[in-house]
Each structure stands twice: as C-alpha cells, then as structure tokens.
Amino acid sequence: MTAAPSAPPDLVILARRAVIGGREVPAAVSVRDGRIAAVGPYDTAAARTAGEVVEVGADEVVLPGLVDTHVHLNDPGHADWEGFASATRAAAAGGITTLIDMPVDSVPATTDVTALRLKREAARGRCHVDVGFWGGAHAGNAGDLAELHRAGVMGFKCFLADAGAPDLPPVSPAELAALMRTLREYDALLLVHAESEAELARAPRAAGRRYADFLRSRPPSAEEAAVAAVVEAARLTGARAHIVHVSAAGSLPLIAAARRDGVRITAETCPHYLTLAAEQIPDGATEFACCPPVREGVNRDGLWAALGDGTLDVVVSDHSPCAAELKHRETGDFGAAWGGVSSLQLALPVVWTEARRRGVPLARVSGWMSERPARLAGLTAKGGIVAGRDADLFVLAPDETFTVRPEELHHRQPVTPYAGRRLHGVVRRTWLRGRPAGPARPAGRLLTPSTDRPEDT
C-alpha cells in the first residue's frame, strides 16, 4: 500500500543562518498547520510547493522563539502597570513567543483556582503570544496546591522574604520544606525568591538617594543564606526547586555543589544582573531599583562564568513594571521606590549586546533564553527549531544597532534603566505557530503543562 503524499507546507523560511541544535547553520524550515514540518538544507526543494516562501537576508538569523518564564503581567488588579495586551505586544516585538506569568503583583495573587480563573478571563482574547501561569504557594494555601496543579499551573512560586503582597506571604525554612514535601507528591516545580528575611532584618534599612545605601540594605548574605535553605529543603525532600533571579555570585558554589550531589535544583539570572553594575548607577536613579539589587561588576563577571559552566540554567527578564509614580524618580529615594526592572521587549538585545562584547555566540544565548526555559516549564512543543514543535520563530539582525527610546516600546509604562542605551540586535519579524505575531492579531493561547491541550484565548 502506498502512503498518501504529505500536504505541501504552508510556509518555508530559507535562512543562510539559523540556530538549530546549538549551532548556526543554513537551513530551510518548513511549516504546516502551525508546526515545524521539516528542517532541511538551505537549497531544499520544499520551497517550490509552499504556500509562502520567506528568504531571510544574509545579515539575519532565524531563531526559535524565546520563552520567558519570569514575567509580572499584573493583570487583573494592576493593569495600569502592565497588562496582557501590552506585555504580549512587547514580547512579540522582542522575539519572545511564550510568557509564564508570576502569581504576585496582580489582585488577587494566583493562590487558588478562583484566582487562576480570573487570570484566564483577563487574558482571554488579548494575548499576542502564548501565556502560561505559575501558582503562588505559602503556608496557608497548602490545601489548594493540588487543585491548582490539576487546573493547569506550570508550577509554584514562593517567597522567603516579604514581597509586599498580603495574599502571598513569605515562608520560613520549615514551611519551605513542608511545601516541598507536598509538591513532591506530584513532582511539581517550586520556584523560590531566595532572600532571607532574617538576614534582611539585620541589614540597614534602605533610605535616600544613595545607591550604595540601597545595596547595603539587601546584602549578598541574604541571598546566600536563602539559597542554602532551599538546597537543604530540596535535599531532604527530593523535590524540584528553582532559584529565581540569582544576583549574588557568592551563592553559586552552593548551587553547583548541590547539583553535583544530585539535588534537583536549577537557577536563573536576568538581563539587568548580566549587564548593569552598581558602580555605574547614579545616586537617585531609581529606575535601576530592583530586589535583589544590581551588584558590582566583579559579581556580574561571576554570573557570566556560571552561565558558561552550567551552574545557571536560564536567562529570563523578571519584567516587573509599576505605575511610573511608584518609582519616585522625582525624589530619587531608593527606600521608597518600587523594586523592579521593566525590560521585556529589550531582554534579548540587552543580553546579546553584552554577550557579543564577551565573545559569547548567539546560539548559546538562544539556549539560555529559549531551549532551557522551555524545558524548565515543561513546554515540550517550545524552545527549538525541531520538526514537530510549534513554529514559534523570529528573525534577528544581530549586528544592527538601535537606541532605546522608552516611548517607542510597547510596555504600558515607559520607565526603564536602558533609556538612551545603544544595543545590538534588531528583531525584524516574529511568527507564532507559523503566522505573523503582531499588534493587530492577538492569536496567543493560554497554556497548561500539557502542550497538547492548550486553552485557546
């Protein structure tokens, strides 16, 4: 019996440079019904029968869509800070095709199924890229975690220090271990904001315009003590743990040693920790305020080394905007300013500009920002130019430069520490499941851990 011939592709992208399997190679990427149907040589004959052919310029690279697993969308409750429509437009413009929303900074926090339902209702029909959700975990909602897990959150997030959210309070080391035992029953991932409440209480309070004072208020010891607590809890329980936004290089040996011992722990860092340095932050420049803080240049070098040796797994934005007045730029008071950096649309150019300066190839950056975060969130259809996966792709001109003008960004709020910076890497077009992702077409889906059953927006 002769097999029926396969249908011709809807789209073929011909690229002299494409990031595939961790390398830049020439390729023809064939797309059918929103999935990558085949990846072949650049001169493939598949293009002859395709519904559409896009030939990428010699100065451009085709990459798998980025996956950002640390984004504060703030909607519902603080949609004036950021929202699903504005954030996902910004993401698409920056080559990001999948976001995972954090459970905090929306009202209510995503700590039960009712709150998750409100999130999905706020997102439906407004997303320009695919969106999934983390759930929130604390000592008081342990009984809700299994139901949230069944409802489709990608995992859970907790805090070891006060995040200023009454419905997502911090947990003690003992409560952390109890949460991990609960989540171990269904092998759910626990993300941890690792700053020790006890260490922060011993540090001087942040106040005034001096960045050095703000830095002292959140010392590296707070992060190191918290990472040690996470490692110990993961070691005792066998649960999966992930350290978010690692800023202190002193915590890296603890993570590396735990992994050598077989502890199931992963870790991330963020563009601002990889590119900014405390010595260069002017006093009063509260657009740089974030928690944990940007540290010194030598610390930044340690983070790059940890990416190189695999101690750090992923690079994600921790896009955490707020209403402009909450940054207190008029007074420059770091003690009063909201702690968060707005950078979603700029994440790749910011990281690539510094990586390029350090001689790190684009394919490695792609791995940190696409393949590995997809794996972290369990998204098997994302994160690579591989036959069978979603045709989430974008075209980057890696050598082209642009100057950051906040008013040109799609973020709801224009405050960014990168204003006026000249960056390398211009995203020229983005496809979501083989179709253009742009402001006129909110075709994003709401994801669950099983990518075979997305819930359409």
Indicate the domain borders of the chain. 65-379
Is the separation of the CB atoms in 374 and 95 below 8 Å? no
Give the per-residue pLDDT at 7: 86
Distances (CA, A) of 457 to 127, 132, 371: 7, 11, 24
Give the per-residue pLDDT at 176: 98
**pLDDT greater than 80 at residue 2:** no
Would you state the structure tokens that stand for residue 356, as one six-digit string? 């390029």
Find the mean pLDDT for residues 409-430: 96
Give the per-residue pLDDT at 48: 81
- Residue whose C-alpha is closest to residue 181's, from 101, 237, 220: 237
Least confident span in 49-53, 165-169, 170-174: 49-53
**pLDDT greater than 70 at residue 4:** no
Is the separation of the CB atoms in 398 and 352 below 8 Å? yes
> Could you tell me how many helices (H) and strands (E) the chain has, helices first?
13, 19
CB count within 10 Å of CB 81 equals 26
**pLDDT greater than 70 at residue 1:** no
Measured distance CA(450)–CA(66) in Å, rounded: 19
- pLDDT confidence of 43, banded at 50, 70, 90? confident
Measured distance CA(366)–CA(95) in Å, rounded: 11
Extract the runs of DSSP E, i.e. beta strands, from 376-421: 393-403
Give the per-residue pLDDT at 438: 75
Tens-digit pLDDT profile for residues 336-362 = 999 999 999 999 999 999 999 999 999
Give the per-residue pLDDT at 120: 98
Q: What CATH class does 65-379 carry? A: alpha beta
**pLDDT greater than 60 at residue 454:** no
Least confident span in 239-243, 275-279, 292-296, 440-444: 440-444
Distances (CA, A) of 334 to 271, 282, 285, 435: 20, 11, 8, 43
Give the per-residue pLDDT at 31: 97
Tens-digit pLDDT profile for residues 67-93 = 999 999 999 999 999 999 999 999 999
At 4, the amino acid letter reads A
- pLDDT confidence of 6, banded at 50, 70, 90? confident
Give the per-residue pLDDT at 108: 96
Following CA atoms 306, 308, 311, 316 in sequence, which dihedral angle do they give, to the nearest 10 degrees? 80
Measured distance CA(172)–CA(152) in Å, rounded: 26
Q: 336-373: buried (b, 16+ CB within 10 Å) or exposed (e) per residue? A: ebbbbbbbbbbbbbbbbbbbbeeebebbebbbbbbbbb
Instruction: Give the chain's largest Cα–Cα span.
Output: 79
Q: Strand pairing of 455-456 and 445-446?
A: antiparallel
Residue 64 preceded by cis peptide, ω within 30: no
Find the mean pLDDT for residues 435-449: 90
Give the per-residue pLDDT at 439: 75
Tens-digit pLDDT profile for residues 249-288 = 999 999 999 999 999 999 999 999 999 999 999 999 999 9
pTM: 0.96
Give the per-residue pLDDT at 103: 98
Average pLDDT, the chain: 95
Angle value at C-alpha 391, between 390 and 393, nearest 5 degrees: 125
Give the per-residue pLDDT at 440: 77
Task: Name residue, tokens 């940007």.
Answer: 294
Give the per-residue pLDDT at 452: 37
Tens-digit pLDDT profile for residues 361-389 = 999 999 999 999 999 999 999 999 999 99
Give the per-residue pLDDT at 457: 43
Give the per-residue pLDDT at 450: 65
Is the separation of the CB atoms in 363 and 385 below 8 Å? no
Measured distance CA(215)–CA(312) in Å, rounded: 23
Provide φ and ψ at 157, rounded to 5°: -125, 135
